[in-house]
Structures are given as C-alpha cells and as structure tokens.
Amino acid sequence: MVLDNKKIPQEKNKIDTNFPNKQETNIQSENQQSQLDYVGFRPEVIPTETIQNPEQQNTVNTEQIKDERHIEIEKNLDSRIQTLKKKLKQSKKKNIQIPIVKDEINLKIEKIMEDGLEDAYKELTTIQQQEFKIKGEETAWKIRQVLKKTKVKIKEIFKLLLEWLKMLPGINKFFLEQEAKIKADKIISLNKFTNNK
C-alpha cells in the first residue's frame, strides 16, 4: 500500500499532453496573432468584446435593412407625391381663349363686374391692372358659359366673382363677399331679363 501512495502524487504532477493547459493556450493564441498569413498579411484579429451572438447580429442586420428600406420607401413616396402635386397644379391651369368678338350680354356682364371698382383699380400698378383686367375678362367669359346652361347656379357665379375680386389687395374679405353677392344678383337678373325678351 505504501507504493500506491507514492504513485498518486506523481500522477498529479503529470500533465496530460493531449489537452493543453491555460498557459499554453494563451501562448499559442499570441503566436497565431503575430504569425504572418501565407500571403504576407497578418490575419484580422477580432476582439472578443465585439463578437456578438449570431442571433444578435441577425437582429441588428435585419433592423438596419428595415430602416434602409423604410428610408428608401419614404424617399420614393415623397418623390411620387411631388410629381402628383405638379400634375394636379398643371391640370388646373387651362388656357382659356377669350373670343375676340364679344356679344352684348358679355359686355353687360363686364359692365356689372367693373361697377364700383374704379378707385381700387386705380391704386393697382400697371402690371397688376393688366392682370386684373385679363382675369376679369376670363371671369366674364366663364360667367357667360354658366348662363348658357339650362340650370344656372348662382353659387358658381358667386365663386367666380369672389375669386376675381380677391386679386384686389388690401380690401376686407367680407366686403369682397358682399360685392360678389351683389354682382351675382345683378348678373342673374340680367340673365332673366334677356331670357324673357
């Protein structure tokens, strides 16, 4: 039995060569980091702190991809919205050709429209006067087209007149609405008078 006791401490001192100890693994990893690759470059050493679980990397990558896609979709939507806005603005602006020869009713409509606006018209600059005049002629022509319909809507005439009168700067909104109502009533009475003849 004495021999058995002596064998035990010797076995403890014995190191198994198949499994490296901690010191050997540290030395081996340092040697691998310092060794050159076969091409002459050092292999990239990834610090252990930056290594993440594959699941974390996947979630981070998918979140980044979702964010990038979301940004691209927003940019595409913004550009599409802008093009649609431009198209809508373009479709509203139609060139209306005013006939050179004006009939009697059209002239009377223009007279009703210009009634009482001489002072405000004189305060405009020459460019604004020309724009106001052209817009007034277009409005008179549109009103004439409304009056040609079988069912005349005073609301349409009122909106056309109000839109035209809003070109005058510095005039109260309520005054403009009142003027537009008065002028619309006169135009409707003119239409009734001409239709009864």
pLDDT tens-digit map of 123-170: 889 999 999 999 999 999 999 888 888 888 889 999 999 999 998 888
- 58 pLDDT exceeds 70? no
Q: Residue 184 belongs to what domain range?
A: 104-196
Residue 185 lies in a domain: yes
Residues of the chain with pLDDT > 90, as a percent, come to: 22
Task: State how many domains the chain has.
Answer: 1
Residue 16 lies in a domain: no
Gap between the terminal Cα atoms of the chain: 145
Residue 87 lies in a domain: no
CA 93, CA 101: separation in Å to the nearest integer? 24
CB 168 within 8 A of CB 117: yes
CB 146 within 8 A of CB 158: no
Q: Which of 75-84, 154-163, 168-177 has the lowest mean pLDDT?
A: 75-84
